[in-house]
Structure 1
Amino acid sequence: MQREEKQLEMTLDAVLNRLNDLKNSIGSMIHKIETEYETINWPTFLDNFALISSHLTGLSKILSKELGPPLRNRTVLPLMLSPERDEALWNLTEGRVPVFSHDIVPNYLRTKPDPAAEQKMIQNEQKAANLSLETAMKQVAQYNKVVTHVLEMVSKSREEWEIESSSRAGIQQTSSNADTHLLVQAVGMGKGLKTAMQLSGPGSAAGGMMVPPAIRQPTPMSSVSPSGVNQLGKAPSAIKTNIKSANQIHPFGR
């Protein structure tokens, strides 16, 4: 009797440790989803999911061993039910179960599915049992056909992607790095450009091209022809004269 109780205690400790690991993994995953939803990537999500799956597998192995079957022969009964808040129960369940009342006990201690879910499962089982062998085989064949078609589409897309990625390195290049460097040096530093224009006068150049303002020869402001038009073909500006006249009639000019 003592050996059986010791085995039961060891099994309960192992199950409790595995449940705590599972709870911590689920809590960590929920925390990452809530706080790192903008930066979390798919591999990280899969790693967390694989950790949860490993804890579930370990829990199943513990329950499937020889030490697990005695748990199925045990019955859990509530010793005391109360609608009042139980602080010890609140601390023991980490704030999940505040009271142990008549309404909560059936949900926590039941060993069968929810009545609505159980009724739905029974209906599906009866519907599957009433199918004839020929109808079932047709449905299975149709399902396999759909799955095979989807698999062929995925395989074809994968082959096309692999062919495209493998042949991408052999695509003929349509640009030259040397020409690109020469163009950048010519635009940025003027390297390789030839002076194909000769200045024939202010604001003009050979070949009908305008000379950039940075290399134009400065022209005196007083170079005005007798007809009142300067060499650039524009009327002389009267801004200077107007400013001078305004200074002369200013009341505070003295």
Structure 2
Amino acid sequence: MQREEKQLDMLLEAVLNRLNDIKHSIGTMIHRLENEYETINWPTFLDNFALISGHLTGLTKILSSEIGTPLRNLTVLPLLLTPERDEPLLQLTEGRIPVFSHDLVPDYLRTKPDPGAESRMATHEAKANNLLTETAMKQVAQYTKVISHVWDIVSKAKEEWDSEASRPGIQQTSSMADTQALVAAVGLGNGLAIVGPGGVPNSGIMIPPAIRQASPMSAVSPSGAGPLGKMPSGIKTNIKSANQVHPYR
């Protein structure tokens, strides 16, 4: 007898440990769904669900093991029923059961569903069993049509998202012609104003000497008289006459 009681205690301890693991996993998932619903992803949710499923599988293996007397052969009877608040019971159940009264015992110790729920379930099962084959096939066809329509909508939306993802996200904001004109203006001086007297261009832009020498249109002499190699004849004559005239005359 003591051996059976010891095995029963070991079995109950293993069941309680597994139930605590399941409770902790469920509480963690509920906490994440309530506080991390904006950042939680599908793989994380599946991992939490797989953890709960693993704990349930372990609990099933423990209950189906041959350690001691199977729990299904045991009967649980209340030793004391009272409508008054029971503090040890409240602490043992983590605040879920404050009293162990006559009204609550049938709900906590029942081994079958509620009679009302059981009767409604039986009604639905009978209705499903009496359903004609032709009516059932029509309902299945209608359900399949709805699922196919939803699938088409989802597939079309997926194709649109994929096509939008393949397109460049930023529209083109440059012009190749303008880029080439800018490069020609910086490198060759194309399109810039001709430098006037004093080396200042008419447009207010100073052209570097290297560009002035490379571009025939913008190349000028240091004196600002005109293009290189094309000195006006009037200036030459004035210079010659100035050399011939005596400074004190």
TM-score (norm 1): 0.58
* Cα deviation digits, residues 49-81 of structure 1 (max 9, x gap): 221122122222222333487211111111111
Q: Could you say if the C-alpha distance between residues 191 and 16 of structure 1 is closer, same or farther in structure 2, counting changes exceeding 3 Å?
A: farther
Map of 1:76-87 to 2, 5 A cutoff?
76-87=76-87
- The yes-or-no answer on 1:74 pairing with 2:74 is yes
Of the structure 1 ranges 190-199 and 53-62, higher mean CA displacement relative to structure 2 is found in 190-199
Residue of 120, 134, 140 corresponding to 1:138: 134
Q: Could you say if the C-alpha distance between residues 140 and 96 of structure 1 is closer, same or farther in structure 2, counting changes exceeding 3 Å?
A: same
TM-score (norm 2): 0.59
Q: Find the residue that maps to 1:112 and give its secondary structure.
A: coil
The whole-number CA distance in structure 1 between the counterparts of 2:22 and 2:90 is 20
* Cα deviation digits, residues 86-122 of structure 1 (max 9, x gap): 1111111111112112222121111111222111011
- The yes-or-no answer on 1:18 pairing with 2:18 is yes
The whole-number CA distance in structure 2 between the counterparts of 1:27 and 1:18 is 14
Question: AA paired with 1:117?
Answer: A
1:8 Cα deviation after fit: 2.1
Question: AA paired with 1:4?
Answer: E
What is the identity percentage for the equivalent residue pairs of Structure 1 and Structure 2?
55
Structure 2 alignment gaps of length 5 or more: 207-249
1:6 Cα deviation after fit: 3.1
The question of whether the paired residues in 2 share the 8 Å contact of 1:85 and 1:98 is answered with yes
The whole-number CA distance in structure 2 between the counterparts of 1:80 and 1:196 is 106
Map of 1:58-207 to 2, 5 A cutoff?
58-67=58-67, 70-131=70-131, 135=132, 137-142=133-138, 145=141, 150=147, 154=151, 183=179, 194-198=190-194
1:38 Cα deviation after fit: 2.2
The whole-number CA distance in structure 2 between the counterparts of 1:116 and 1:29 is 31
Q: Could you say if the C-alpha distance between residues 7 and 148 of structure 1 is closer, same or farther in structure 2, counting changes exceeding 3 Å?
A: farther
Q: Could you say if the C-alpha distance between residues 119 and 69 of structure 1 is closer, same or farther in structure 2, counting changes exceeding 3 Å?
A: farther
Of the structure 1 ranges 64-73 and 11-20, higher mean CA displacement relative to structure 2 is found in 64-73
The whole-number CA distance in structure 2 between the counterparts of 1:123 and 1:69 is 36
Q: Could you say if the C-alpha distance between residues 39 and 158 of structure 1 is closer, same or farther in structure 2, counting changes exceeding 3 Å?
A: same
Question: AA paired with 1:196?
Answer: L
Q: Find the residue that maps to 1:127 and give its secondary structure.
A: helix
Question: AA paired with 2:41?
Answer: N
Q: Name the residue aligned to 2:55.
A: 55
| Structure showing greater Rg | 2
User: Aligned pairs, how many?
Assistant: 194
Q: Name the residue aligned to 1:28.
A: 28
* Cα deviation digits, residues 140-170 of structure 1 (max 9, x gap): 54455456654697499769969x969x98x
Question: AA paired with 2:26?
Answer: I
Q: Find the residue that maps to 2:190 and give its secondary structure.
A: coil
The whole-number CA distance in structure 2 between the counterparts of 1:155 and 1:69 is 56
